[in-house]
Amino acid sequence: MLDIIFGIALWVVVIIGIFFILIPIGNENSTVRRPPWVTFSIIGLNVVIFFATLPAVSQQAVDVNRTRTALDKFLLDHDELQADPDVRRELQEAGVISKREADEIDRQLNGDPQYKHDWELWLKGSEATTLRTQCRVLLTDYKTATQSSIWYRYGLAPNGNWQVHQLITAAFIHGGISHLLFNMIFLFAVAFSLEDLWGRGMFLVFYLLAAAAACLPVVIEPSPLVSIGASGAISATMGAFLVRLYRSKIKIFWISAPLLPFWAIMKLALGKRPWGIVNIRAYIYLPYYFVAQVLYWWWSHKIDATPTVGYSAHIAGFVFGAVFAGIVSLTKIEERHIHPKIEAKVSFQGSPEVTEGLNLLDRGEIPLAEKKLKTRLARYPNDANAIMALIQVYQRTLNYTQLNMMYGKLIRHHLGNDDKEAALYAYDGLLSSFPDDAVAVTIPIRDWLTLCEYLREADMNREAAVEYERLVAAYPTDALTVHACVQGGEAALAAHDNDRALRLFEHAESLHPKSPVLGRVEQGIEKCKLRIETRLNWVKEAPKTGELQRDTGERNAHW
């Protein structure tokens, strides 16, 4: 049954591949706080290594092909020599024959005792000894050419002959210009956003660990082929992107009908280009990519073939990246440690006062650091460096009142530069500064409303509703609270959070709004009550029909 499901899914993936080539070339988070030098350096290093080693690799490929051709011709002319188990073992270890081929020869020999006996007698003769010597000379030539090549020394060597350094260096070796080009395009599409979020140091560590993790399947189950390329590490960045930025849109360059030219010609005849760029949510494209790799890996094992594409490395890398990003998210390392440090370094050149203040903070001289930084901020109120440095001071001292004030200044600074995304990141950092059970955020209400509206524009209605309600709790009677209640109630309705929507609309009603706001409030309350009443009736009737009751969240999602 599972094979049938996998087979159908594989056909779907293959058909999509027949009609379209999909290449990720970027994502919507194109604004970064500082240049992604690690990503650029990785790309540059791969390009430099490829072209610097190209002459040597080309000559080595000629030597390998020459020695392999001579060996293959000899084995074709004297295939009876493979009846020798020692020869078979040596050929298999060198990757000349696969384990499946060696097992098939064993099966044929063991299937007929007389046949096996005759071959064993022949192998003891002088002719077999001479051929065995010739074979080993040719095999030695081939192994020498292979093992002296750059691919073998710095890629992940085959048949379990790998060395520790190859777990990293293999990710910087590529087999051709197209291999290099597509890998670097895929890398750039997602890596620069992760580097911006995690910082240069952490992203570099992640990438190198991902390169090693992607090698694990080949380490556990050795391949007869050398493993090279950055695709396993790049797959890890895709898995991490899925977890960290799952709602972001990835820019996909598509070209139609690579295997059906007449389809492309027909589209051109109709005045339509057979290529273009489309934005696809990460939670749609990246799972499709991962499933495709799993299906291709499954099929190669199903037909007992040795794939020339590292599907297992792609799978292992993707899983590693997703797990790594999940751990970072759960531990809130990004919000508590990485994000404040990055914010303290971006946009402005650090002043001597800020640098000295941070040095004092690092030495544990917190009161002196606070005094130095507050002096700087009094003279330059818009110094983002000073603001972020003071945020670190107040995070260290758990001074939540001052944290609200400093983060409020930082959010105002970003909004003043029309950078709502950076303002939202700053707000997320403020939320993370509080204990999970004691969040007490208070920032200027107009800036808070701007962030809530930005969440709604991004179709994050559930998150927007939560923030609107948090705003209302902080400013229950402000002149703008009615507006927040109405906007939050409508966002909650869009997210099917009927109870939250009702609370917000009822609070708005208690503030006695004027028309036309009053009409929106009354309409919202009526809609909430109707949904809740319908839900309750559904719950009451469900047992009569013998159906299991579903949890409240799932029932809400149906209305």
pLDDT band at 151 (very low <50, low <70, confident <90, very high): very high
Query: How far is residue 220's CA from residue 393's CA, in Å, rounded to a whole number?
Result: 48
Res. 259: pLDDT tops 70:
no
The reported pLDDT for the residue numbered 551 is 37
Side chain identity, residue 123? L
User: Could you identify the residue written with the tokens 């074709």?
Assistant: 76
pLDDT band at 341 (very low <50, low <70, confident <90, very high): low
Q: DSSP readout, 406-443? A: HHHHHHHHHHHTT-HHHHHHHHHHHHHHS-TT------
Query: How far is residue 286's CA from residue 152's CA, in Å, rounded to a whole number?
Result: 32
Angle, CA 535 vertex, CA 533 and CA 541 arms, to 5°: 105
Out of 99-113, 156-170, 174-188, 209-223, least confident range: 99-113
Residues 6+ apart with CB under 8 A from 518: 509
The reported pLDDT for the residue numbered 549 is 38
Residue of higher predicted confidence among 215 and 532: 215
What number is the average pLDDT over the span 305-316? 87
Q: What percent of the chain has pLDDT over 90?
A: 36
What number is the average pLDDT over the span 497-511? 90
Res. 542: pLDDT tops 80:
no
Res. 349: pLDDT tops 50:
no
Query: How far is residue 296's CA from residue 306's CA, in Å, rounded to a whole number?
Result: 12
First to last CA, the chain: 35
**Tell me: the pLDDT tens digits for 100-117?**
777 777 787 777 776 667
Give the chain's domains with CATH numbers. Answer: 2-55+168-331 (1.20.1540.10), 332-440 (1.25.40), 444-559 (1.25.40.10)
Res. 6: pLDDT tops 80:
yes
Residue of higher predicted confidence among 437 and 323: 323
Residue of higher predicted confidence among 471 and 336: 471
What number is the average pLDDT over the span 187-210? 92
Res. 544: pLDDT tops 50:
no
Angle, CA 422 vertex, CA 276 and CA 400 arms, to 5°: 155
The reported pLDDT for the residue numbered 98 is 73
Angle, CA 59 vertex, CA 172 and CA 145 arms, to 5°: 85
Cis bond upstream, residue 516 (ω within 30) = yes
pLDDT band at 348 (very low <50, low <70, confident <90, very high): very low
Residues facing 227 on adjacent strands: 156
Res. 88: pLDDT tops 90:
no
**Tell me: the pLDDT tens digits for 364-412?**
888 988 888 888 888 888 888 888 888 888 888 889 899 889 999 989 8
Angle, CA 448 vertex, CA 444 and CA 454 arms, to 5°: 155
Res. 289: pLDDT tops 90:
yes
pTM of the model: 0.61
| Residue (of 429, 356, 362) closest to 386 by Cα position | 356
Query: How far is residue 181's CA from residue 46's CA, in Å, rounded to a whole number?
Result: 10
pLDDT band at 262 (very low <50, low <70, confident <90, very high): low
When the pLDDT of each residue in the chain is averaged and rounded to a whole number, the result is 84
Query: How far is residue 352's CA from residue 358's CA, in Å, rounded to a whole number?
Result: 10
Query: How far is residue 475's CA from residue 305's CA, in Å, rounded to a whole number?
Result: 66
The reported pLDDT for the residue numbered 186 is 93
Res. 496: pLDDT tops 80:
yes
